[in-house]
């Protein structure tokens, strides 16, 4: 089966800000600010094919037909907890988008994903979901989150991250070949603790200052 595309966002501003975020000496404030800015920039790319409709407006000079998006049709689904670090930036660009949350952890004994929180808007069949998590590492949480999101039957799903490991991309594409992946970087590999190398460390800890 053919896979939906992997969109590698190579814009110089995105790459510059990502470099600053990777630096181990970036403070929590700097890291969080940069993630917000990057999320805004990446929002341009991930919403590039959003449908528009023409509405009539009046400029100071005359009436015209002009395109608008229907932001309410978009749902940013944050994969807890690190996904929350991307919400502010995304919502600045699409302020009337809806927001969903997917909370899951891996049971250490069974290694199965256990869902502890799931909240999405109503009428999902009319909405397009962008699932967000800064890190696509093993791909297991992304797959489990998208399994759950599919259970409410949205119109479409994309996956937006900052960094992806080749293994995470392969795992997500194998399980959900219809879900396009948007990332600012594809890093080399995972280490034995499933951290992305060279990566940027633990995204949740760096966003929330918990380490």
Contact pattern from residue 118 through residue 157 relative to ligand URA, giving x for each residue in contact according to CB under 6 A and a dash for the rest: -----------------x-x--------------------
Active site annotation includes 205: yes
Q: Is the Cβ of residue 128 or residue 133 nearer to ligand URA in the bound state?
A: 133
Binding region for ligand URA (CB under 6 A) out of 97-105, 106-114, 118-126, 195-203 = 195-203
Rounded to whole angstroms, the Cα distance separating 199 from 211 reads: 17
Q: Among residues 74, 104, 196, 207, which is the contact residue for ligand URA, using CB under 6 A?
A: 196
Q: Which tokens belong to 43?
A: 């929002």
Active site annotation includes 59: no
Angle among Cα 113, 117, 119 to the nearest 5 degrees reads 125
Q: Which of 48, 110, 125, 153 is catalytic?
A: 110
Binding region for ligand URA (CB under 6 A) out of 45-53, 98-106, 116-124, 196-204 = 196-204
Which residue from 80, 130, 136 is spatially nearest to 103, judged by alpha carbons? 80
Rounded to whole angstroms, the Cα distance separating 47 from 130 reads: 9
Angle between helices 28-46 and 12-22 (to 10 degrees): 150
Binding region for ligand URA (CB under 6 A) out of 29-37, 98-106, 145-153, 199-207 = 199-207
Active site annotation includes 32: no
Rounded to whole angstroms, the Cα distance separating 143 from 102 reads: 12
- 39 to 9, 51, 73, 106, 180: CA distances (angstroms): 12, 20, 19, 26, 17
126 CB neighbour count, 10 Å cutoff: 12
Q: 183 - beta bridge partners?
A: 8
Binding region for ligand URA (CB under 6 A) out of 67-75, 96-104, 122-130, 200-208 = 200-208
Q: Which tokens belong to 16?
A: 């510059």
The verdict on 199 binding ligand URA (CB under 6 A) reads yes
In the bound complex, what is the minimum distance in angstroms from residue 200's beta carbon to ligand URA?
A: 7
In the bound complex, what is the minimum distance in angstroms from residue 66's beta carbon to ligand URA?
A: 42
In the bound complex, what is the minimum distance in angstroms from residue 202's beta carbon to ligand URA?
A: 4
Which residue from 185, 178, 136, 135 is spatially nearest to 157, judged by alpha carbons? 178
Q: Is the Cβ of residue 123 or residue 189 nearer to ligand URA in the bound state?
A: 189
Active site annotation includes 107: no
Residues that bind ligand URA (CB under 6 A): 82, 135, 137, 195-196, 199, 202-204
Task: Give the active site residues.
Answer: 106, 110, 202, 205
């Amino acid at each position: 089966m053919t896979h939906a595309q992997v969109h590698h966002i190579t814009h110089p501003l995105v790459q510059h800000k990502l470099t600053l975020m990777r630096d181990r000496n970036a403070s929590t404030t700097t890291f969080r600010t940069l993630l917000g800015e990057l999320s805004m920039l990446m929002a341009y790319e991930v919403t590039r094919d959003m449908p528009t409709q023409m509405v009539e407006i009046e400029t100071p000079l005359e009436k015209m037909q002009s395109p608008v998006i229907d932001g309410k049709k978009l749902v940013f689904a944050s994969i807890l907890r690190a996904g929350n670090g991307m919400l502010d930036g995304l919502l600045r660009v699409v302020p009337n988008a809806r927001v969903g949350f997917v909370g899951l952890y891996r049971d250490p004994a069974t290694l199965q994903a256990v869902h502890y929180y799931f909240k999405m808007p109503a009428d999902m069949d009319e909405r397009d979901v962008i699932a967000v998590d800064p890190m696509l590492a093993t791909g297991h949480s992304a797959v489990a989150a998208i399994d759950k999101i599919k259970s409410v039957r949205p119109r479409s799903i994309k996956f937006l991250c900052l960094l992806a490991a080749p293994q995470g991309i392969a795992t997500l594409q194998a399980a959900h070949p219809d879900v396009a992946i948007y990332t600012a970087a594809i890093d080399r590999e995972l280490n034995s603790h499933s951290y992305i190398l060279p990566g940027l460390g633990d995204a949740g800890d760096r966003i929330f200052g918990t380490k």
